[in-house]
């Protein structure tokens, strides 16, 4: 039998040495968060894990172990006959569970008996999670950030996503968080990832960036929907220079109708957003907004929400703003050509800042 190797670190360099990483935890645990690139081959399903746990607490640890062992053996056999059936003799996976205990040991023992060079992550997922927390909560973020700022509806996300084609690095926090970062920012049909998964994907995105070159990121608040920007990144964002984008209110309203088409088409989502307004619009105004929605006059509705909620909130935050402004961009419109021109102007300014630092 091949000897099982114990891996003690979950840093990116160590993990990159494994072509296949196997997470043997339940699908529910895997969905909440997992090591980058891992595949889920659970030795216990969600229901089986709950069943064994209940028996352990309410009846007998011995009976729970016996029933659990039978379930684990059957599940591993199924993985060998399906997902792992075509793996060659040189297959060398890394296996982990919650904390490097019985579940990963069971899988690793059988895989090693097949003849595969199998490794176990010591401490399991918890070892990896400590790595993420250390880097995002305790260490200093090495990135040089420039914030893309401006009122809601000025096309910042659109501009940001044009920048890579112009040679710039970006960090798209809203995409990673699965939320547009505003009151109406929920994405229809796409729930936000867990906080842990958000941090895993954020760290992966950060590791792909060159810390010697500037990175453009939207000037988000410390929370994007229900997801918190980790302290290491947030501290750098609070001290980074800004590029401000401005556009006329009516243009922003029309842009929001296009950008938030999924919310516009979802009456329930629109109503939910109304109830979450920090400043209650009042019965008369709310009735007027509902009437505008019923008539399909979403541009006027967007302009009304901008006037009552978005612009006052941005103005309040601006009074406390101390981060320097590198440049302001005045956009006459927010059509495709306008946004493309804005992206080029942003790219030119970032390039100048990169060369001179001013």
Q: State how far the Cα of 283 lies from the Cα of 352, in Å rounded to an integer.
A: 51
C-alpha–C-alpha distance, residues 140 and 237, integer Å: 12
Q: Distance between CA atoms of 11 and 94, rounded to whole angstroms?
A: 13
Residue with tokens 């929605």: 293
In this structure, the dihedral spanned by the alpha carbons of residues 313, 315, 320 and 323, taken in order and rounded to 10 degrees, is 110
Three-state DSSP class for 179?
strand
89 by DSSP, 3-state: which?
coil
Residue with tokens 């000025």: 154
3-class secondary-structure state, position 245:
strand
Identify the bridge partners of residue 328 per DSSP, sorted by sequence position: 244
Cα 61 to Cα 99, 232, 288: the distances in Å are 19, 43, 63
Is the separation of the CB atoms in 46 and 79 below 8 Å?
Answer: no
DSSP 138: I
CA dihedral 8, 14, 15, 19 (to 10 degrees): -120
What is residue 166's DSSP assignment?
A: G
Its sign, for the CA torsion 331, 332, 334, 336, is: negative
If residue 13 lies in a helix (H) or strand (E), which one and from where to where?
helix 12-15
Catalytic residue among 24, 97, 110, 136: 97
Taking phi first (over 0 means left), then psi (-120 to 50 degrees means alpha), and beta for anything else, what does residue 37 get? left
Q: Is 97 among the residues known to form the active site?
A: yes
Q: Where are the beta strands (DSSP E) in 257-345?
A: 325-330
CB neighbours of 193 closer than 8 A, spacing ≥ 6? 176, 177, 178, 201, 227
Residues tagged active-site = 97
């Amino acid at each position: 039998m091949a000897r099982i190797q114990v891996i003690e670190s979950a840093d990116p360099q160590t993990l990159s040495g494994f072509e296949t990483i196997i997470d043997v935890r339940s699908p529910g645990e895997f969905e909440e968060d997992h090591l980058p690139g891992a595949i889920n081959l659970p030795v216990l399903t969600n229901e089986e894990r709950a069943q064994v746990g209940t028996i352990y607490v309410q009846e007998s640890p011995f009976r729970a172990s016996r029933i659990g062992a039978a379930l684990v053996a059957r599940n591993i056999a199924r993985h060998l006959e399906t997902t792992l059936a075509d793996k060659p003799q040189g297959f060398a996976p890394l296996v982990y569970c919650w904390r490097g205990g019985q579940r990963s040991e069971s899988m690793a023992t059988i895989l090693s008996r097949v003849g595969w060079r199998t490794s176990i992550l010591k401490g399991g997922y918890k070892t990896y999670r400590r790595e993420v927390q250390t880097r995002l909560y305790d260490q200093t973020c090495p990135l040089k950030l420039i914030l893309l700022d401006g009122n809601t509806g000025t096309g910042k996300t659109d501009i940001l996503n044009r920048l890579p084609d112009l040679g710039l690095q970006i960090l798209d926090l809203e995409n990673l968080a699965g939320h547009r970062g505003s009151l109406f920012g929920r994405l229809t049909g796409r729930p936000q990832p867990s906080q842990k998964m958000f941090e895993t994907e954020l760290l992966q995105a950060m590791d792909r960036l060159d810390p010697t070159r500037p990175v453009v990121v939207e000037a988000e608040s410390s929370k994007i929907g229900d997801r918190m920007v980790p302290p290491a990144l947030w501290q750098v964002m609070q001290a980074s220079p800004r590029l401000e984008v401005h556009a006329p209110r009516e243009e922003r309203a029309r842009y929001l109708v296009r950008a938030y088409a999924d919310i516009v088409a979802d009456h329930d989502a629109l109503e939910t957003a109304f109830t979450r307004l920090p400043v209650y619009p009042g019965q008369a105004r709310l009735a007027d907004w509902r009437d505008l929605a019923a008539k399909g006059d979403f541009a006027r509705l967007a302009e009304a929400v901008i006037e009552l909620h978005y612009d006052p909130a941005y103005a309040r935050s601006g009074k406390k703003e101390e981060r320097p402004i590198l440049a302001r961009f005045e956009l006459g419109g927010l059509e495709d050509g306008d946004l493309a021109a804005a992206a080029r102007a942003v790219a030119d300014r970032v390039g100048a800042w990169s060369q001179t630092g001013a």
